[in-house]
Amino acid sequence: MTKKQVVEALDNSMRDIMGRPELPFGGKTIVFGGDFRQVLPVVRKGSRAQVVASSLRMSYLWESMSHLKLVSNMRAKNDPWFAEYLLRVGGGTEVTNSDGDIRLPDEVCVPYSGSDNDLDNLIDFVFPNLNENMSDSTYITSRAILSTRNDWVDMINAKMIDRFQGEHMVYHSFDSAMDDPHNYYPPEFLNTLTPNGLPPHVLKLKIGCPVILLRNIDPANGLCNGTRLVVRGFQRNSIDAEIVLGQYAGKRIFLPRIPLCPSDDEMFPFQFKRKQFPIRLSFAMTVNKAQGQTIPNVGVYLPEPVFSHGQLYVALSRATARSNIMILAIPAVGGKKRSRKGVRKNPTVDCGTYTKNIVYKEVLTN
């Protein structure tokens, strides 16, 4: 997801330092690690061309290193069929039907009935015997449900925290519009906003619940954006949490409330500031947020198709094997039209579960 301007800046600096402006990176060998099949940098309201242009597209470097391109999925190497399927999905070469949708493997799909029980079945697969294992931090942080939109994620997290046993603690944020001297945007309105990358106004937590960090607070000590933690205790103005994965596993920290602003300054016609704990519940998370993480047990909730390059590939490839993933997606049945919420009505013929797969092939070939 590195933006091309970052690499261009390094390229220009190396040319200047080495005094060799005609050579890429001043003649020095630069090794890049990454996968163009994954989601690209987000360009708010951007066209396909703008999204592609914002990605890391150093064609002369990419083509010269063609022998190093990813040819296998290392995360799923113990399930060769699944690894090959993931590469076909990521490369846009998986066979499609007449609507351009790909078929999901039957063994990883939650049977669709059109009822609310479908989501409950997905939750039960990802979080089996939740009440018996809620005190096991490894169990809690080794599984998650992924979806494409924040509102779906928030709905699942709210559903899960209500299932979680124990007394809850609710923290409310302090919101303000910094350049609003006439109070055009009252706090009651600001409280309803949840911009990308910010915690919600109402943060409902319980002891033992999983959360994810939203800011780089102390990278040297493992407190980075995306770090997953488990809540261990509450105080009025701080939260006791424990890092449970990686080299800092077992480390306890006290998270303070801090002022937070959206990373996109053009999101609102005013400068929005929220003072809140920099965490969100992580029973569920967006596909984009999950990129780069290995999640042993994965559920994928797709009440609507993916809408961006690489999202389906990233969602499926978080798991290490097809036995560890379950998908609740829109079934393509009998040519019926989708309802207003994207679910096809009155399925009569079982012909498999199909879903949209978006791949910008120009990113993979340039």
Report d(CA 192, CA 344) in Å as an integer. Answer: 31
What pLDDT is attached to residue 324?
92
Q: How confident is the model at residue 338 (pLDDT cuts 50, 70, 90)?
A: very low
If one compares 341 and 351, the residue with the highest pLDDT of the two is 351
Q: How confident is the model at residue 15 (pLDDT cuts 50, 70, 90)?
A: very high
What pLDDT is attached to residue 60?
43
Question: For 109-134, what is the mean pLDDT?
Answer: 91
Question: For 302-318, what is the mean pLDDT?
Answer: 92
What pLDDT is attached to residue 72?
62
Report d(CA 319, CA 156) in Å as an integer. Answer: 19
What pLDDT is attached to residue 5?
78
Distances (CA, A) of 158 to 155, 212, 258: 5, 15, 23
Tokens (6 digits) for 244: 């449970």
Radius of gyration of the chain (CA): 22
Q: How confident is the model at residue 211 (pLDDT cuts 50, 70, 90)?
A: very high
What CATH code is assigned to 72-154+283-366? 3.40.50
Confirm whether pTM is higher than 0.85.
no
CB atoms within 10 A of CB 120: 13
For residue 308, pLDDT beyond 50: yes
pLDDT tens column, 321-333: 889 999 998 664 5
For residue 341, pLDDT beyond 50: no
What pLDDT is attached to residue 335?
46
Tokens (6 digits) for 170: 């609710």
**Sequential DSSP letters for 268-309:** SSS-EEEEE-SEEE-SEEEHHHHTT---SEEEEEESS---ST
Question: For 17-35, what is the mean pLDDT?
Answer: 88
Question: For 84-103, what is the mean pLDDT?
Answer: 91
Lowest average pLDDT, out of 236-240, 261-265, 347-351, goes to 347-351
Report d(CA 27, CA 18) in Å as an integer. Answer: 8
For residue 82, pLDDT beyond 60: yes
From the list 212, 256, 252, 254, the residue with the least C-alpha distance to 237 is 256
The Cα angle at residue 276 between residues 271 and 279, in degrees rounded to 5: 115
Q: How confident is the model at residue 178 (pLDDT cuts 50, 70, 90)?
A: confident
Sketch the domain layout of the chain as residue ranges: 4-68, 72-154+283-366, 166-281
Q: Strand pairing of 143-147 and 284-286? A: parallel
- Helix segments in 23-66, DSSP class H: 48-54, 59-64
Percentage helix, strand, coil for the chain under 3-state DSSP, each rounded to 5: 30, 20, 50
pLDDT tens column, 183-201: 889 999 999 988 888 999 9
Under 8 Å between Cβ of 164 and 209: yes
